[in-house]
């Protein structure tokens, strides 16, 4: 698998992990399938680049496969975590760690290719995204503590918007790197 295919798999995987395709209550393409594609894409980039950060991102995506699978089969983790929202919070945190390692890997790859301005732009984007995502997680936790469904719905849209932004960035960088 080439790097170009790797980036395409990541974009498609993130789209499938974000937008759930359902037939009634049955998920046709569950989120973990999206994360499988992401893991495959990151793995191909890691093999092509030999960058440890991509390997870490791939390992985190494997954890996300497991967590989204547990969420799909509705494993009752309330007993273990003492909160019905802990799995969602854990998935959000793991996704942030994945994004961090993946885009740090992109920065290193761009530096290696001599694309210093793009590497700096990537770091700025990652810093801003990280701040916005952490704010989203904190607001999400506050909503759960207060059982505020309206604010919870708004923060859900906010988090989806952040994911769409990341999909856009991965697609853009994939095209730039493969020129």
Domain ranges within the chain, ordered by starting residue: 3-177
With a cut of 80, say whether residue 77 has pLDDT above it.
no
Q: Read off the pTM.
A: 0.89
Least confidently predicted of 13-22, 100-109, 123-132, 161-170: 13-22
pLDDT, mean of residues 163-175: 94
Please give the pLDDT value at position 103: 97
Tally of helices (H runs) and strands (E runs) in the chain: 7, 2
User: Using one digit for the tens of pLDDT, what is the confidence trace for 8-47?
Assistant: 999 999 999 998 777 777 778 888 899 999 999 999 999 9
Average pLDDT, the chain: 87
Place of tokens 């793995």: 43
Nearest to 159 by CA among 128, 176, 135: 135
19 DSSP assignment: S
- DSSP class of residue 30? -
Phi, psi of 26 (to 5 degrees): -85, 125
Q: What is the mean pLDDT of residues 108-131?
A: 95
- Return the SS3 of 22: strand
pLDDT band at 80 (very low <50, low <70, confident <90, very high): low
């Amino acid at each position: 698998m080439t790097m170009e295919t790797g980036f395409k798999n990541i974009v498609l995987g993130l789209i499938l992990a974000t937008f759930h395709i359902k037939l009634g209550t049955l998920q046709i393409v569950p989120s973990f399938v999206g994360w499988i594609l992401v893991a495959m894409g990151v793995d191909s980039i890691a093999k092509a680049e030999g960058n440890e950060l991509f390997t870490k991102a791939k390992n985190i995506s494997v954890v996300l496969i497991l967590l989204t699978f547990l969420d799909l089969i509705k494993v009752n983790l309330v007993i273990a975590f003492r909160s019905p929202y802990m799995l969602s919070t854990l998935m959000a945190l793991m996704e942030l760690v994945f994004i961090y390692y993946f885009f740090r890997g992109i920065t290193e790859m761009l530096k290696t290719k001599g694309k210093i301005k793009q590497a700096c732009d990537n770091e700025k984007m990652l810093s801003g995204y990280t701040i916005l995502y952490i704010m989203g997680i904190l607001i999400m936790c506050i909503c759960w503590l207060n059982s505020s469904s309206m604010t919870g719905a708004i923060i859900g849209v906010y988090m989806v918007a952040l994911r769409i932004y990341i999909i856009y960035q991965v697609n853009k960088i994939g095209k730039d790197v493969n020129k």
